[in-house]
Structure 1
Amino acid sequence: MTAVQQENGSVRSRSLIVPHHAQGARAARHRLTHELTGLLTANLLCDVVTVVAELLSNAIRHARPLPGGVIRLSWRVRRATGAGSVLEVRVTDGGAATGPRMRPSGPRSLDGRGLGIVAAMARCWGTDRDDAGHSVWAEFSLA
């Protein structure tokens, strides 16, 4: 696991590079929890870790890895317009044939609820694609 940290005035960010498999996702969740404990309330930390777990598992299940067989988890705390700050989490992978999308799921569905969970817990979420890969991000208000 490789980590990079930056602090720049009103922005604090961190990035982890982990293997594109379940053990890498587990290590990333534990590191995120350790880094954000004390910065967030316990309830918000639980929501953030739940969303990150979903984004990481989607990247492993549905997408190709980045070069080197890895995925990247990054997060940053920044001042928002107006009062307060925002925490953004972002998972970047090598992309897939189709982009992430919310799917309808019923009570008997075995999967398909993940992005609905992300949408319910995060302030907002979205995707970006560039030469470096495909990212799914989510934002949380830090009131």
Structure 2
Amino acid sequence: MSGVPETVVDDAVLVLSELLSNACRHGRPLRSAEDEGEDGDVRAAWRMDERGRLMVEVTDGGGPTRPLPATPSVTARGGRGLNIITALADDWGVRDTSGGEVTVWAVIGAGRPHDELSTRVGVPGIGFAAPFDGLR
């Protein structure tokens, strides 16, 4: 994307990857009347908002649970995706439609210092900032 800092694009790619993974793992595919008996799709989109921030979103056919950040154990193989999104995005949320579709969106803003990552990424109850303080 022209004019968007590379760090914002990098964060957006990771966030979009997490959103797509979650949609494929937990959501149902989108269906339309002509899809009868066929597999559906998951829809991804990105755009710049009115404040110059990059917005990414993924829409699927909904799932059995609402997307919420988890508190995985240290040895768990998954459950960190929405925590990663929370750390990298300025804001994120879930939008439902009356047809059962669910869109999870995230806004990644420009101008945020990228070297704050160690203080933003973490698992509840486990602090990562202290071990990295001496590396600055």
Counting aligned pairs with the same residue, the percent is 38
3-state SS in 1 of match to 2:12: helix
- Tell me if structure 1 keeps the 8 A contact 2:18–2:85: yes
Q: Distance in 2 between matches of 1:43 and 1:139?
A: 14
Unpaired runs of at least 5, structure 2: 112-136
Amino acid at match of 1:126: G
- The counterpart of 2:11, out of the listed 27, 37, 47, is 47
Shift in Å at residue 86 of structure 1?
Answer: 1.7
Shift in Å at residue 43 of structure 1?
Answer: 1.5
Q: Distance in 1 between matches of 2:103 and 2:79?
A: 19
- Tell me if structure 1 keeps the 8 A contact 2:29–2:42: yes
Amino acid at match of 2:7: N
Q: TM-score, normalised by structure 1?
A: 0.68
1:66 aligns with 2:33: no
What per-residue deviation string (whole Å, max 9, x for no partner) do you get for residues 30-59 of structure 1?
xxxxxx2x3322211111000000000100
The equivalent of 1:105 in structure 2 is: 72
1:96 aligns with 2:79: no
Unpaired runs of at least 5, structure 1: 1-35
The equivalent of 1:77 in structure 2 is: 48
The equivalent of 1:25 in structure 2 is: none
By percentage of residues, which structure has more strand? 1
Amino acid at match of 2:107: E
3-state SS in 1 of match to 2:16: helix
| Stretches (4+) displaced over 2 A | none
Amino acid at match of 1:111: G
What per-residue deviation string (whole Å, max 9, x for no partner) do you get for residues 18-40 of structure 1?
xxxxxxxxxxxxxxxxxx2x332
Give the length in aligned residue pairs.
103
Q: TM-score, normalised by structure 2?
A: 0.71
Output aligned runs, 1:26-37, within 5 Å. Answer: 36=1
3-state SS in 1 of match to 2:3: coil
Shift in Å at residue 76 of structure 1?
Answer: 1.6
